[in-house]
Amino acid sequence: MGAKWYDFVSTGYGPIDADHHDLTRLIDLFLSAINAGNDAEAASHARAVVEKVGAHFAHEESLMRAHAYPQYARHKEAHDLFLGDAASYLREVTDRGVTVAFRRWATGRLLTWFRFHIHANDVGLGRFLTAATAPAAGTGASGSGGQRQPA
């Protein structure tokens, strides 16, 4: 089977990657509903995607605050911009159904944004969190830090 649109969602930090995988499953359901022309199902899935994205962003932001991530403000701004964009398209699908503009957003802009955001923001955050949450060197189970103790 060929590569899917989301094959690169790994940031190296398990909790964020788990969220990304959950999001890709929801987005796939959403895209299937759009492609099937089921407006009511597409609208329902759109709301679920945006709700899950909001929860994921809140999760990331709590991790960034807890670990004093230096790029917090820039990363949060990207989250806020996406949520604003998504809210306008949610209003559109609720008011008018699956319009050409909504379909273009869902099958193009949403996927492009998701991939770009992971690449431009979440990979760096994942690396930072992996390092920030790694056990300190020298704190192995034996307390010896992997060095031989004198007999």
Residue 23, domain CATH: 1.20.120.50
94 touches 43 (CB < 8 A): yes
Distance CA 102, CA 36 (A): 14
Q: Does 71 reside within a domain?
A: yes
**Does residue 23 lie in a domain region?**
yes
Please, what is the angle between helix 39-66 and helix 14-36, to 10°?
170
Q: Is residue 109 part of a domain?
A: yes
Q: At 47, list the tokens.
A: 């709301």
Domain of residue 70, residue span: 14-132
Specify the pLDDT at position 138: 61
pLDDT in tens, 77-135: 999 999 999 999 888 888 888 889 899 999 899 888 988 999 999 999 999 999 999 98
How many whole angstroms separate alpha carbon 17 and alpha carbon 77?
Answer: 21
Assigned domain for 45 exists: yes
How many CA atoms, within 13 angstroms, populate the side-chain half-sphere of residue 143?
A: 0
Residue 7 lies in a domain: no
Counting the structural domains of the chain, the total is 1
Residue 78 included in any domain = yes
Range 62-76 average pLDDT: 97
Least confident of 6-20, 25-39, 103-117: 6-20
Determine, yes or no, domain membership for 150.
no
What is the value of pTM for the model shown?
Answer: 0.82
CA distance 39 to 127: 39
45, 30 in Cβ contact below 8 A?
yes
Is 42 inside any structural domain?
yes
3-state DSSP of 91-117: HHHHHHCCCHHHHHHHHHHHHHHHHHH
